[in-house]
Amino acid sequence: MAFGLLYDFLMGQTTRAYEYFGAHFGTKDFEVEELEKPASGTGRAKKVKKTLTVHGVYFRLYAPMASDVSVIGEFNGWDVGADKMAKIDDSGVWETFVGGLHDYQSYKYHFRNARGEYVDKADPFAFFSEFRPLTCSRLFDIEGFIWHDDPWMKKRTNCQEAPLSIYEVHLGSWKGKIGDRYPSYEEVADYLIPYMRETGYTHVEIMPITQYPFDGSWGYQATGFYSVDSRYGNPKQLMSFVDRMHQAGLGVILDFAPVHFATDAYALREYDGTCLYEYSDPAHTLSPWGSAQFDLGKDPVRSFLISAMNYFLTYFHFDGIRVDAVSNIVYWDGNKNNGENTGATEFIKRLNGKLHYEHPGIMMIAEDSTDFTKVTVPTEYGGLGFDYKWDLGWMNDTLKYYGKDPIYKKYEHNKLTFSMMYFWSEHFLLPLSHDEVVHGKGTIINKMHGDYDAKFALLRNLYAYQYGHPGKKLSFMGNELGSFDEWNENRSLPWNLLSYPKHDSIRRLCRDLNLIYKAEEAMYKCEFDPNHFQWMMVDNHDQSVFAFERTYGDSDLLFVYNMTPNFYPDYDIGVLNEGTWDEIFNSDKDVYGGWNQYNGAPLETGMFASENRPYHLHIKLGSYAACIFKRRIKK
């Protein structure tokens, strides 16, 4: 078994490298000689061979160009001569067994690298690590966690035909520190589970929790790709977090960064004195962020990363993985002009194909800003095999449009209509993520045009537009608070804002949009089929009013958006079907902080309408209002 796994590792095909490499608790039998006295008690004692079973840890390291390798740790007083490792394979695998060890003991590998220098390196396959600024790996037995989420695991899907409303969370700053320490995974769950159930999100996406040294990297520049972030606890505490989320009916998605890694000397950089994990070509060794780039064309690197993601899916029951910076995978250094990185795209196809095979129902999500084609097409049809792709074009165009003075919006009309020109080419997810609220970009509400009241009105309109537009949804924590202060990883979200009605009303609006989203099949069923979407008003540049209809089965919804402060007491909107329509949502209601210009009574259609629609509705359309109408279906 070990030989086959090692062969697959070297060929870039294994999903389970973590079962072989790293530090694993186990037993080893040793033959020992003992003196055994005769049963009669007389005569001379004889030497007999007996088998002694010792409990301890197997250490295995992949370092082809290393020599004179030892494992050092607190268990041997960091003595480089105490536990030498033997080279057991010509490919560069080193192994030793050390008895009598236990969880949490710190260790590193000490060896002579290809340049003849003695170095101390952390274990690339360690399951746990010391909390920064300490840099050692730590022993941890990951076996034996008792799960309680079998009902969830049996029914989970990739949500192609189900609601998917993702709440993106940075665990350390959602509630903030407790005194001078980070909250544990379980402590975050204590508050996050009831909050998500109350606000209606279906899944949480946690920003990277593989071990990383620099807080300001938010986990995107890691040093340990199997090592659960020790800021928040140990691996079994993370398992408990996911288990409890699943029991509460909530999915959990892991944000993972397979493009690059931190350049700290104790970690993967020039691991055995060669570019074992990164590109050897200096033109590609470092990423645009100053980190080292994984050489995704190397088969052992492919196995390393595919196995890492599979490890979190297998041992932690994550429901999906958001793959960071796909643009820097498909194109050399993320630049289309440099051409496709075919070694890296082959890695992605292999990753998605293997993980979907082993874990039916998971979601693989691409954070991709390029126009690379077939990102969400299955690998068997020549695609990259992702389930969803972030629609960053929609995000950029939409936020620019909402930031325009209403006087000039008619000249930017296409920014709101262009997304539907390409939407059917991929399975898109609409993100308003952490990237939009940092580094001087301003928060989402700060991006809105106008004075204080106008910003809130446009924010309500924007969120209603995100939910009305086809595509799955993602919103970063705090967007629902309407905060004017940018997110900072070192402090808590400003929960005190909820004591102010304007801000609390935004959270209520987000909750109600989630509830409507989950209740109306037209908002998630067949949403990637153009037959279920129809523009009702698309060319009204002068008034900047948009309307479209979405249908599925008994769910027939009309969405209307007024992008200016103009108020229309009697506005004509075309619809496809005759009947009675009820307004089920209006962002201008006072419960959301609006001016209460809404349609209270049911509306009846009239014959003929603008834009060649067969019927029309006369509606009240408030300033900056977003409305959702539902047609009554006769039984």
Q: Look at residue 397 and give its three-state secondary structure.
A: helix
pLDDT band at 1 (very low <50, low <70, confident <90, very high): very low
pLDDT tens for residues 567-612?
999 999 999 989 999 999 999 999 999 999 999 889 999 987 767 7
Sheet containing strand 93-99, edge to edge, reads 22-36, 46-62, 93-99, 86-89
Contact 538, 413 (CB under 8 A): no
Q: Tell me how far apart the alpha carbons of residues 317 and 362 are, in angstroms, rounded to a whole number.
A: 10
Query: Which CATH entry fits the domain spanning 2-138: 1.20.120.550, 2.60.40.10, 1.10.10.10, 2.40.50.140?
Result: 2.60.40.10
Query: Residues 10-16: what's their mean pLDDT?
Result: 95
pLDDT attached to residue 43: 67
Active-site residue, selected from the candidate residues 8, 205, 324, 521: 324
pLDDT tens for residues 311-328?
999 999 999 999 999 999
Beta 128-129 vs 93-99: how paired, if at all?
unpaired
pLDDT tens for residues 357-388?
999 999 999 999 999 999 999 999 999 999 99
Q: Would the pLDDT of 2 be above 80?
A: no
What would the DSSP string read from start to end of 550-590?
EEETTEEEEEEEE-SS--EEEEEEEESS-SEEEEEEETTSG
Size (the chain), residues: 635
Contact 561, 573 (CB under 8 A): no
pLDDT tens for residues 457-498?
999 999 999 999 999 999 999 999 999 999 999 999 999 999
* Domain 163-523 = CATH 3.90.1170.50: no
Query: Residues 495-506: what's their mean pLDDT?
Result: 96
Q: Tell me how far apart the alpha carbons of residues 242 and 251 are, in angstroms, rounded to a whole number.
A: 8
pLDDT band at 238 (very low <50, low <70, confident <90, very high): very high
Q: Which residue has the tokens 């919006």?
A: 409
Query: Residues 262-285: what's their mean pLDDT?
Result: 95
pLDDT attached to residue 51: 80
Q: Tell me how far apart the alpha carbons of residues 562 and 620 are, in angstroms, rounded to a whole number.
A: 11
pLDDT attached to residue 316: 98
pLDDT tens for residues 30-76?
877 777 777 666 667 777 778 888 899 999 999 999 999 999 999 99
Q: Tell me how far apart the alpha carbons of residues 523 and 25 are, in angstroms, rounded to a whole number.
A: 49
Higher pLDDT, 395 or 40: 395
User: How deeply is 391 buried, as exposed, middle or buried, from its count of CB atoms within 10 A (0-12, 13-18, 19+)?
Assistant: buried
Mean pLDDT of the chain: 94
pLDDT tens for residues 329-342?
999 999 999 999 99
pLDDT attached to residue 536: 94
Domain ranges of the chain: 2-138, 163-523, 530-631
pLDDT attached to residue 633: 85
* Domains 2-138 and 163-523 are alike in CATH topology: no
Beta 203-206 vs 251-256: how paired, if at all?
parallel
**Token pair of 537, please?**
């008003």
Active-site residue, selected from the candidate residues 83, 123, 367, 387: 367
pLDDT attached to residue 41: 61
For 547, residues 6+ apart whose C-beta sits below 8 A from its C-beta are: 535, 536, 537, 558, 559, 560, 561, 573, 574
pLDDT tens for residues 194-219?
999 999 999 999 999 999 999 999 99
- Helices marked H in 443-495: 452-468
Beta 128-129 vs 137-138: how paired, if at all?
antiparallel
- E-assigned strand segments in 395-448: 428-432
Distances (CA, A) of 303 to 12, 258, 503: 5, 12, 47
What would the DSSP string read from start to end of 169-188?
E-HHHHS--BTTBPPPHHHH
- Residue 324 known to be catalytic: yes
pLDDT attached to residue 635: 65
Q: Tell me how far apart the alpha carbons of residues 464 and 557 are, in angstroms, rounded to a whole number.
A: 13
**Token pair of 632, please?**
């009554």
pLDDT tens for residues 169-190?
999 999 999 989 999 999 999 9
pLDDT attached to residue 40: 64
Q: Tell me how far apart the alpha carbons of residues 403 and 447 are, in angstroms, rounded to a whole number.
A: 5
pLDDT tens for residues 16-27?
999 999 999 999
Q: Tell me how far apart the alpha carbons of residues 385 and 381 are, in angstroms, rounded to a whole number.
A: 9
Q: Homologous superfamily of 530-631 in CATH?
A: Golgi alpha-mannosidase II (2.60.40.1180)
Q: Tell me how far apart the alpha carbons of residues 172 and 233 are, in angstroms, rounded to a whole number.
A: 12
pLDDT attached to residue 439: 85
